[in-house]
Amino acid sequence: MKNVFVLGTLCVIFATSCSKKKESKMPDNIPAPVAKIVPKTLEKHGDIRIDNYYWLNDRENPEVIDYLNQENEYYNKMTAHTKEFQKDLYEEMKGRIKEDDESVPYLYNGYYYITRFETGKDYPIYSRKKGSLSAKEEILFDCNELAKGKSFFQLGGMSISPDNKFAIYSTDFVGRRIYTLQIKNLETGEILKDEIKNIDGRGVWANDNKTIFYTTQDKVTLRSDKVFRHKLGTDAKSDVLIYNEKDDTFNVSISKEKSKKYIVIESGSTLTSEFRTLLADTPDGEFKVFQPRIRGLEYSISHFGDSFYVVTNKDDATNFKLMKTPENATTKENWKDVITHRDDVLIEDIDIFKDYLVVSERNNGLNKIRIMPWSGEGEYYLPFESETYTAYTATNVDFDTDILRYGYQSLNTPSSTVDFNMKTKEKKVMKEQQVLGGKFKKENYLEERVWATSTDGTQIPISIIYKKGIKRDGKNPLLLYAYGSYGASMDAYFSSTRLSLLDRGFIYAIAHIRGGEDLGRQWYEDGKLLKKKNTFTDFIDCSKYVIAQKYTSPEHLYAEGGSAGGLLMGSIVNMAPELYNGVIAQVPFVDVVTTMLDDSIPLTTGEYDEWGNPNEKEYYDYMKSYSPYDNVKAQAYPNMYVSTGLHDSQVQYWEPAKWVAKLRAVKTDKNVLFLDTNMDAGHGGASGRFEALKELAKEFTFLLDLEGIEK
């Protein structure tokens, strides 16, 4: 999913209507790059594929870099007439952001922790105040200083020692999500000599203030596979290997329970979980398996008192249920039901307090927050009235409190952080995202939830927002977004940057298609493996719905998706290109078969439970039938803007590069096709809140230019 700015926000806009489409000023006399053809024969299960652009799979090859640069140059020349508009949009979106913004402080272990931004700076500053918000600020990390001289910067996990004297932090200067761990003495400001490379981003303190656990990655596949123990002040070469996950379909992570009593190793694949626990007071002890892995058994654990609470799909609980087990008897035969399974309610997570259990649920595609007193009396749900909203529990690190902190936003309601008293039911809005510029009023925008009927009769929800006064006459530009994989639910969220489209007459819609978990676990199951095509046909049917209901028309309909959502984009332009005037595919996963056959590529083996293992012929044949790269054909395609990052660790840059090269060679239309490669970034695009706005301005001008909107 594209990074979304929820912090701060946004500005002025010149409202225009798009009742009459003008012509784009894009030049038609600039030759597009042509990638050379070097046929490579790929054979599996007796099936032969010829890949003419396999050679692009080598970022060390100067010819590859030259080709990517040619594509960037072509994009820049073709869009030269929009450069001023891009700058204007950038300033417009930036102008809505409260630059000197800060988070709502939270209290943890005697300190209030705050994340803030300063005017004109791209990166956050992490600070704390001891005991009181009026105390002197102590800056932990100024990411603007850490990022100086770097084209990319990302701060990974930050963890404070129990005695508040040291901080673990990690940094990535490439965008490949390979971090280096370091330790800062918070009393002196000194950076210790301890330095650990190739970690997955975070470290965890034991209760002795000197033992750290961390996870490393395989250098080729980037799979998190090993857990080590490090002693403060020692050479990392002497660190002790605690756990090695040898199953290459599993990844490992390390964390600490909210109770601070246990350190936990989680080893998980798409379908299976396994946890190990260790008393945080005895870091040199042995981790104990909580419940041995059983394929298909998923569970997560939360410690409280003398028990663990377990969210699990045990006993065919497709939508998960909540169980409880003694901390000294943790295998599944000891688990007892607390909340039984319900066919229409998905349990997503829990938050535990001294007097309350808070359950995050999902019903009919909407978030629900359930408050359950441990006394067993007077449980209730937080009331939410909109049908296009998202609500979620936020940072709740304290057991002994009646206050639940949660977040709320909708398509037309800026994000807010709320402190809710679970005893008195009083709520206090601690902060609402500000939209600067003086033009934004939520009542000027209408939000709807409608339902499209899919090819197999399933009802698919669509969340829609547009400016009041727009007529459903088929002439409105509409941007339809979706993801549709990994059980990731795409809830309706507020975006101040989106106002730059809405105020220019665009309608924005989110299709809650299968492959996500929007309507429960079965919604996910029905959009993966051998049912993956439901994801694509759902989106196409949502597209047909908004056309039939005259929200838009094929001349004005645009589609957007990133990563696995880019796979969706690649599939729909092969299957139904006539429905769209333009498509934005961000870091798209489009070469499914070749990637899933290469177990040296990051993430591949861990993805078998999502896409299937093409080493098995049934899955190979099914993947090949929808893989965008393999199904490019001689037909007309929409206008397309494709973006990628040279250092992407999730979807390798060569997938979109090969895809664009093949499209150029065979498509029969004269519509524009752009490949825009960030030569300094990875999967998430540019780092820094303002640099990311520049990338968004590129996408918006692509859409607005196609609509003939010039300002």
User: Residues of 63-96 as b/e, b for ≥16 C-beta within 10 angstroms?
Assistant: ebeebbeebbebbeebbeebeebbebbbebbbeb
197: nearest Cα among 233, 160, 156, 163? 156
3 alpha carbon, distance to own chain's centre: 7
627: nearest Cα among 591, 651, 577, 653? 591
As given in the structure block, the two tokens for residue 108 are 């943890």
DSSP 8-state symbol, 311: E
Q: Which of 127, 563, 649, 687 is catalytic?
A: 563
Answer whether 411's CB lies under 8 Å from 467's CB.
no
Query: Does the annotation mark 496 as catalytic?
Result: no
Q: Which of 122, 200, 648, 676 is catalytic?
A: 648
Query: Does the annotation mark 485 as catalytic?
Result: no
C-alpha 583/C-alpha 676 separation (Å) is: 14
Answer whether 323's CB lies under 8 Å from 310's CB.
yes
Query: Does the annotation mark 683 as catalytic?
Result: yes
Q: Which of 386, 630, 683, 687 is catalytic?
A: 683
Answer whether 419's CB lies under 8 Å from 427's CB.
yes
SS3 category, 245: coil
Work out the burial of residue 612: count CB atoms within 10 Å of its CB; fewer than 13 is exposed, 13-18 middle, 19 or more buried.
buried
C-alpha 380/C-alpha 368 separation (Å) is: 10
153: nearest Cα among 173, 182, 129? 173
Answer whether 699's CB lies under 8 Å from 641's CB.
yes
- Helix-strand-coil percent breakdown of the chain, rounded to 5? 20, 35, 45
- Residue with tokens 């300033």, as numbered in its chain: 91
Tell me which residues are annotated as active site: 563, 648, 683
